[in-house]
Amino acid sequence: MEEAYDVLKSLLSTKASERMIAFAGFVVQPEENGADREGVLKIAASHRPDGSGYLTLTFIVDTEDNQDVRHHLAELFKESDQQVLRELMGKEVEMLLGIPLDCMARSQTFFVQELHVYFRLLKGQEKRLLNEQVIPALRKILLCSFDSIEWLTEESQKPKIIPPRESFTLAPEEGTSFKALFNRWFKGA
């Protein structure tokens, strides 16, 4: 007898094992006359034995359950194609893969998109590549402003005890920014 394959469970398992190295808050104005939307960019790195590898950029934007905002964000990310990013980032970029995760989000309040950027040499170059190439390219393509990148330490990457489900929430409390929420979760601030 075949067992049903749970795609969401598989995705969550994969995301849980990523090596998160940094995060950054950002603001995007999704519509011509729309309000700014706050988001957070989660950055993970995966290395191959030869030093090449890829950065996983997971974008989470609070849409406040507005379907027009969600649609506009999806259109912005469609424009972040491989050719445009390669031109903006240079020859070090091997490939770009966009993965819309929005359809798997349990909450319609958040827009979730992932980009995988593959580099010929990544190991030891993450900070330089992110600061000098990736973030500037994303600013141009997505028309958003980024806060400075918050780098995680080896200590902050160690497994932590997750609180019981009823006390854990993805939504920030009133007056709390996504960046402050990520600081609390991952840096213990």
- Token pair 């960046």 is found at 179
Q: Where are the domains of the chain?
A: 16-149
Q: 61 pairs with which residues across the strands?
A: 39, 111
Residue 102 — very low, low, confident or very high, per pLDDT cuts 50/70/90? low
pTM over 0.85: no
What pLDDT score was predicted for residue 123? 92
More confident residue, 138 or 17: 138
Residue 86 DSSP class: H
Contact 77, 97 (CB under 8 A): no
Mean pLDDT of the region 159-182 = 55
Cα dihedral 27/132/112/44 (nearest 10)? -130
CB distance 97 to 116 below 8 Å:
yes
DSSP 52: -
The listed range with the strongest mean pLDDT (30-39, 98-107, 173-182) is: 30-39
**pLDDT, tens digit, for every residue of 38-84?**
899 999 999 999 999 999 999 988 887 778 878 888 877 776 566 67
Whether 171 shows a pLDDT value over 50: the answer reads: yes
SS3 82: helix
Least confident of 43-47, 63-67, 118-122, 148-152: 63-67
Beta bridge partners of 47: 53
The answer to whether domain 16-149 has CATH 1.10.3470 is no
Residues 50 and 103: their CA atoms lie apart, in Å, by: 34
> In the 8-state DSSP scheme, what is residue 158?
S
